[in-house]
Amino acid sequence: MSCPARLAPVLLASLLGSACSAVTPSSPNPSEGSMPTRRILVNGVRVVVQEFHASDVVAVQLWVGVGARDEASSELGLAHYLEHMLFKGTVTRAPGFVEREVEGVGGRINAGTSLDYTYYHTVLPAPRAIPAVEMLADMSVNSTLSEKTLDLEKRVVLEEMRLGEDNPRRRLSRQLYELLFDGHPYGRPVIGTSELIQVLTRETLVGFYRRHYVPESFVLVVVGPIIASEVLAAAERTLGRLPRSGLKRLPLSAPDAGRSARLEIERPGTQAYLGMAWLGPKLDHADTPVVDLLVSILGQSRSSRLPQMLRERLGLVSSVSTAYSALEAAGAVTVTAQLEPANLARAEAQILRELQRVRERGVTDAELRRAVTAAEARYAFSTETAEGRAYAFGRAETVWRLEEELAYVDRLRSVTPAQIRSAARRYLDPERYARLAFVPPAR
């Protein structure tokens, strides 16, 4: 599920300080391949498989229902740190197995951590599908998490933190979430804090690993020119043999109703950075496709309202864009801009005026058609690859529902201008929002 604007808060390193940031791929069209097969193994592992013959590569992904939201206050950053450590060796695979089993056959592998989940994703030649399932299953429960490797990885994660701090756009995104979700688990930094990482012990990390990396948390996704029955059999003899843990992930409460919050921070440089955020609908809300299109109309392309008004006509900003992150328990609608410090107040006022226009007058049929067309185009591009399809299936099965993912583009097509106006009035209150600005030091 993804189309126009909704960010997959994979908030990996770039967005909220973990490992990368991504837009959720849109719903794959079943007519372009077989319908995905979904199976729940006896121990609770979910498996999604699709035979897809667009190329000779296969995407194999393991999704885990644990993210920053699941950490205690003394565990901040552990989900992300563990993601790093799972590539360092298992009981039966010595360090360097990634180079041997993945890169050595022409494949690639990576991982990402978000507020809601962690996932491990690899793309390999199709004949390597079953070995990839075996490798990910081994990593998921048999990683050694050695003391020596843990200490060495601390330097890597601390450097990742430093790079995130040095990048004003990344820092703005992360701190804007902290401001919007103040007091809620979604306000936590995915990457953690340097204070906790520096004193992290193997005992603490192993405890987190054993508690959360269990069958009930796993989703295995395989998409490519494979035989579904063979993949399902491989899943049964690997992940399917793990004993149930009894873990039941507790639902996350919604954040408190949006309130006004304003923060201005001095940072080195000559440009200012502005972030504005509102609480939006959660992932499975009926308004999700409506807000998706609303955000697209406001600021997802050069022809959108805010870039046209603030950049092209008034020259107030060098860049401005909007985003919608639909999380499992809440959503965030954001507007971010880079501009001259002298233009901050005027740019913020102009953004609020444009939002008020949509609240009062709605959007045109032409704007809505362009937004839907853009969504369909993103859908087409994202479903060209096995990897894009696997990502959509995996995220849906982990924090949403696969059937909703498959129907999402049709839901976008059914949105009306009246619904767009209603959503703007419901979610984009010009009197209640979080506002963060980075400004150069006073001279």
> Tokens at residue 416, please?
């009306």
Instruction: Report the pLDDT averaged over residues 393-414.
Output: 95
Question: 166 CB contacts (<8 Å, ≥6 apart)?
Answer: none
Q: 29 pLDDT band (50/70/90 cuts)?
A: low
What is the reported pLDDT for 433?
Answer: 97
Question: What pLDDT digit, counting tens, does each position of 161-210 carry?
Answer: 999 889 999 999 999 999 999 999 999 999 999 999 999 999 999 999 99
What DSSP designation does 58 have?
A: E
Question: What is the CATH architecture of 37-241?
Answer: 2-Layer Sandwich (3.30)
Question: What pLDDT digit, counting tens, does each position of 305-315 carry?
Answer: 999 999 999 99
pTM, two decimal places: 0.91
Q: In what order do the strands lie in the sheet with 272-280?
A: 22-23, 6-8, 319-326, 331-339, 272-280, 434-439, 261-266
User: Does 280 have pLDDT greater than 90?
Assistant: yes
Q: 31 pLDDT band (50/70/90 cuts)?
A: very low
Q: Which amino acid is at 209?
A: Y
What DSSP designation does 120 have?
A: E
The CATH topology of domain 267-439 is Cytochrome Bc1 Complex; Chain A, domain 1 (3.30.830)
Cα separation, 82 vs 78, in Å, equals 6
Q: 329 pLDDT band (50/70/90 cuts)?
A: very high
Task: Indicate the average pLDDT of the chain.
Answer: 92
User: Does 379 have pLDDT greater than 70?
Assistant: yes
* Residue 238, number of CB atoms within 10 A of its CB: 20
Nearest to 248 by CA among 379, 375, 384, 66: 66
Question: What pLDDT digit, counting tens, does each position of 118-169 carry?
Answer: 999 999 999 999 999 999 999 999 999 999 999 999 999 999 999 988 999 9
Cα separation, 414 vs 387, in Å, equals 28
For residue 271, give the 3-state DSSP assignment. coil
Q: CATH 3.30.830.10 residue ranges in the chain?
A: 37-241, 267-439
Task: Note whether 297 and 352 are within 8 A (CB).
Answer: no
What is the reported pLDDT for 11?
Answer: 36
Cα separation, 443 vs 207, in Å, equals 50
User: Does 22 have pLDDT greater than 80?
Assistant: no
